[in-house]
Structure 1
Amino acid sequence: MNNSMISAMVSMNGIQQRLDLLADNMANVNTVGYKRKEAAFQDTLNSVMQQSSDFQLAGRATPLGIGMGFGSRMSELAVNFKQGTMKETGNMTDLAIEGNAMFQVLTQDGEVGYTRAGNFNIQINPEDPQTGYLVTNLGHPLLDIDGELIEVPAGSKLHIDGAGNIIAMDGEVEAEVGRIGLVTPLRSDALIQRDSNLFVLPPGEREGVIMATSDLAEEEQATIRQGVLENSNVDLANEMAEMLKVQRAYQLAARALTSSDTMMNLANNLRG
């Protein structure tokens, strides 16, 4: 198999991964709190084919040798945590974060997950119908600053301030029921993305990866807005433009592969 065929094949594999990434971003353009995925590419197996000294002619400015590559591959997948736009909903259990922070939720596996999606609702406690828990749309309970479930009186109206303090109002009776535990990623690249717009910590790591937002200086702390949701930070127009460029690159690589195959067939059919 010649070098051009290998290069085209490797490039097509990398471009296909890029197309899959763009398709994922576009499919989640309306997903609350979704963060855009981005990819980086690098050359594969670069080498230099040395030339004979006969090519070192007078006036030649470039060094001897022919640069040879074997296509490119996706080297890194990253998540862009840029703030999304805000959308007023009027729903008092919808929450949005302004600033660098994430909600803590308890997953079905019993581990702590982190998300920017704030479309919560109240799920009634089956053991006590008079109380309920703030949960995500997939049923993951929201955690407070101590990592405990937040229990609220069923049927009460909730008031949540910028620091995450929750006050339940039942008529004229007010009761403070807890404080939402926001965390701030110190190394967002270390977070591992899971399904359902959730992130988890690497096994055995927490120190230096995240910290409680309340431990930051006051001017650095993120705030919570009630009755608001954070939209996806995906720009559909940019994604469409990028997809067109990637499709053209895929077509070019496919044409190079076809040309290489044609040349190989011609060479195989030559007769002396």
Structure 2
Amino acid sequence: MSSSDIFIGETIGTAVLILLGGGVCAAVTLKHSKARNAGWLAITLGWGFAVLTAAYLAGGVSGAHLNPAVTLGLAIQGGTAWGDVPLYFASQLLGAMIGAVLVWVVYYGQFQAHLTDPEIVRAQPFEEAMVDQAAAPKAGPVLGIFSTGPEIRNAVQNVVSEVIATVVLVLAILTQGLNDEGNGLGTLGALITSLVVVGIGLSLGGPTGYAINPVRDLGPRIVHALLPLPNKGGSDWGYAWVPIVGPLIGAAIAGGLYNVAFA
């Protein structure tokens, strides 16, 4: 597999993943969207279908890692060369940012209407420490479209939730459906993995929103910080390390477990 294959496959695949996954979050969240208030089931199914579509697109090109945690797990397992890991990471981050921008493009009118709605603007929570009335809130009203956040902010619990959910994901990928080169998802593996993602969302997604993918959170969070969204509020950078560190720890544990128990 060439460097260009990795770059093209992971960039396009991750962009599609975030476009469809972030798109369902936007559809459920934004006013004047036909899917507004469709609920958690719609979000979990949307992300599952996003994984399925992206994996089918990129599987034959780059192995469809689409996630640094998957890349790390495969490197520990031995299916991916360590020298390719930085390129996978960089391509995935770029793709995630492109996908987040495309969500904004598709829902541009809804973003504008939502963020200029007086009811939404008045409801923004300001940090107690902020004395300037013009200061931006800690987490803006549309941040959840771009990145994850905890229902109860407890760093230890939040990290552990992400670790456990990512162990399930990466072990499921490592133990089935690898392609002929052994470094990514095959056709059946893409289908099974998408169902695993739905299951994780329904069962383990409640505490943190199940990032289980560092670039799924970091790339769109960067885009949220950069986009010219009116009254968008803050990007909650104080939490941003959790959905990066937790999935990477989970991936390392999953890779080690695989080598001990399944190899």
What TM-score do the two structures reach when normalised by structure 2? 0.22
Q: Which has the higher strand share?
A: 1
Larger Cα-atom Rg: 1
Q: Which has the higher helix share?
A: 2
What TM-score do the two structures reach when normalised by structure 1? 0.21
* Larger RCO: 1 or 2 (CA < 8 Å, sep 6+): 2
